[in-house]
Amino acid sequence: MQQTHHLIDGEDIATTSGRSGPVSNPATGDQTGEVGFASVEEVDRAVASSKAAFDEWRNVSIARRTKLLHEFRNLVAANADEIAARLTAEHGKVADDARGEVARGIENIEFSCGLADALKGTYNEQASAGVDVYTVRQPLGVCAGITPFNFPAMVPLWMIPNAVACGNTFILKPSERDPSAPRFIIELAQEAGFPPGVVNLVNGDKVAVDRLLDHPDVAAVSFVGSTPIARYVYATGTANGKRIQALGGAKNHMVVLPDADLDLAADAAVSAAYGSAGERCMAISVVVAVGDIADDLVERIRVRMDKLVIGPGDDPTSEMGPLITREHRDRVAGYIGSGADEGATVVVDGREQVFDGDGYFLGVSLLDNVTTDMQVYRDEVFGPVLSVVRSDTYHEAVQMISDNPYGNGAAIFTRDGGAAHQFQRDAEAGMVGINVPIPVPVGYHSFGGWNDSLFGDTTMYGPEGLRFYTRPKVITSRWPDPSTSSVDLGFPQND
């Protein structure tokens, strides 16, 4: 069985905590590895290493940092297939999806390669007579990242490139469910030439997270995961005086207006609901059918579902893989039953599909006539279950999104530019798609939701990520002739 260890100061460190977690292949149900969980002392060791490295790293030139980021980018690209294979083996997502995840991660490194331009300060000459004022952005110190199971490669790459580009050092605490891809990425960062301690990795659970949130030498924490833990990380970290950005769960709605091309909408709904087995924070979980199109749209979705191939992620014919654990698969299946009990129409019941072996597979499900009081609507299901809610009007659909506590993504399908433009203004979500079901922003915009989908003031990666990982310093400077100097107790005025 493969053992996954910490990586601190460039060294492979096995835990001595005596605590560990199993790592399984979700397609077979077999345990394939074990990941050691950090003790408080091991987290402290990583923080001490990152703190020591910060003193030198913050003074490394922009030119050198840029070169290292390019090297890192090239190594991740050269090893994309190996990273993707690890994703498939431990997360279960199909190979093509896994390669897509790595490609989006690389986009974030590419953005950070432009740090020279992005970190330019501002300068005002002659702000007052003989006085110049300028702002520079400086790093925070030791930053930490805590990441979820569903994007074990991409989400760490939302954080690491920008954090180190800005001159911070970084400690990654990835999900304990699929730790080998993030571990490999940190190895690649070391191979790229980042000095020891600039990027460290500790594996673990709540013990490691709590120590990072508590440690006086950790300046900032980026978190991505479920809403209850995001809320906890934000509340605890800010109470301890840290800068925190904590991205949470989601319930993404796709509104289909009566004028939409229904084939286009059905393709998009199926792709966005069942891709990665629905285990995406940007997955479409609810289709809101406006007006009289619901019967037609539901039928077009159903027909497409019949053709989906579900199987192991390393089988090139598979379009959807298993869920992450047996418990999660059973929890997701429970929502199909609860929806039926509460009055939804089960058009396709994924529980009826039988799979060979002990993998954590579940067929795709479609529930119609879902209402907003049902549990399947209220909760984040995070699995291949799509709900259809019928709505009489556009306004009712938009109100539904506003009333939902989450606010990650929202999409509209229509051929009416005016309606789309109105939706762009109205939707209570941080990321909006117009005929795009999964509007994940490109690397040079930033990613993040609203309301219960994000706690904190800045979204992640892109320009907002740079803002998070730096603090502004304003310098007021003059070089006067000493002979003109005199004592003046008045408050300095600009003239």
| Options 24, 25, 175, 391; binder of ligand NAD; rule CB under 6 A | 175
Give the H/E segment covering residue 7: strand 6-8
Contact call for residue 176 and ligand NAD (CB under 6 A): yes
Q: Whats the size of the chain, residue-wise?
A: 495
Catalytic residues: 281
Which is nearer to ligand NAD, 206 or 378 (by Cβ)?
A: 206
- Span from 44-52, 224-232, 342-350, 417-425 in contact with ligand NAD (CB under 6 A): 224-232
Contact at 8 Å (CB) between 87 and 178? yes
Contact call for residue 225 and ligand NAD (CB under 6 A): yes
Compute the least distance from the CB of residue 456 to ligand NAD, in Å.
11
Which is nearer to ligand NAD, 21 or 139 (by Cβ)?
A: 21
Binding mask of the shown chain, residues 448 to 467, with x at each position contacting ligand NAD by CB under 6 A:
-x---x--------------
- Span from 86-94, 115-123, 145-153, 369-377 in contact with ligand NAD (CB under 6 A): 145-153
Compute the least distance from the CB of residue 226 to ligand NAD, in Å.
3
DSSP codes joined into one string, 119-170: T--EEEEEEETTEEEEEEEEE-SEEEEE--SS-TTHHHHHHHHHHHHTT-EE
Which is nearer to ligand NAD, 222 or 414 (by Cβ)?
A: 222
Compute the least distance from the CB of residue 487 to ligand NAD, in Å.
56
Compute the least distance from the CB of residue 240 to ligand NAD, in Å.
14
Give the span between the Cα atoms of 347 and 366, in whole angstroms.
5
Contact call for residue 335 and ligand NAD (CB under 6 A): no
Within a 10 A sphere around the Cβ of 26, how many other Cβ atoms? 28
Contact call for residue 209 and ligand NAD (CB under 6 A): yes
| Options 34, 132, 187, 205; binder of ligand NAD; rule CB under 6 A | 205
Contact call for residue 298 and ligand NAD (CB under 6 A): no
Contact at 8 Å (CB) between 304 and 267? yes
Compute the least distance from the CB of residue 440 to ligand NAD, in Å.
9
Give the span between the Cα atoms of 109 and 113, in whole angstroms.
6
Contact at 8 Å (CB) between 222 and 159? yes
Give the H/E segment covering residue 77: helix 62-78
Give the span between the Cα atoms of 255 and 395, in whole angstroms.
11
Contact call for residue 318 and ligand NAD (CB under 6 A): no
Contact call for residue 382 and ligand NAD (CB under 6 A): yes
Within 8 A by CB and 6+ apart from 403, the residues are 372
Compute the least distance from the CB of residue 254 to ligand NAD, in Å.
16
| Options 8, 163, 229, 364; binder of ligand NAD; rule CB under 6 A | 229
What are the contacts of 415-424 at 24+ separation with CB within 8 A? 415/259, 415/260, 415/261, 416/257, 416/259, 419/257, 419/259, 419/394, 422/394, 423/255, 423/394, 423/398
Give the span between the Cα atoms of 441 and 461, in whole angstroms.
10
Give the span between the Cα atoms of 292 and 297, in whole angstroms.
10
| Options 37, 57, 72, 149; binder of ligand NAD; rule CB under 6 A | 149
Q: How big is the site for ligand NAD, counted in residues (CB under 6 A)? A: 26
| Options 387, 404, 408, 470; binder of ligand NAD; rule CB under 6 A | 408
Q: Which two tokens stand for residue 325?
A: 């654990």
- Span from 38-46, 49-57, 114-122, 219-227 in contact with ligand NAD (CB under 6 A): 219-227
Q: Which residue is nearest to ligand NAD (CB)?
A: 225
- Span from 54-62, 132-140, 187-195, 225-233 in contact with ligand NAD (CB under 6 A): 225-233
Compute the least distance from the CB of residue 147 to ligand NAD, in Å.
6
Within 8 A by CB and 6+ apart from 216, the residues are none
Give the span between the Cα atoms of 477 and 140, in whole angstroms.
23
Q: Which two tokens stand for residue 87?
A: 């994703």
Contact at 8 Å (CB) between 372 and 350? no
| Options 37, 54, 57, 151; binder of ligand NAD; rule CB under 6 A | 151
Contact call for residue 378 and ligand NAD (CB under 6 A): no
Contact call for residue 431 and ligand NAD (CB under 6 A): no
Binding residues (CB under 6 A) for ligand NAD: these are 146-151, 173, 175-176, 205-206, 209, 224-226, 229, 247-250, 281, 380, 382, 408, 449, 453
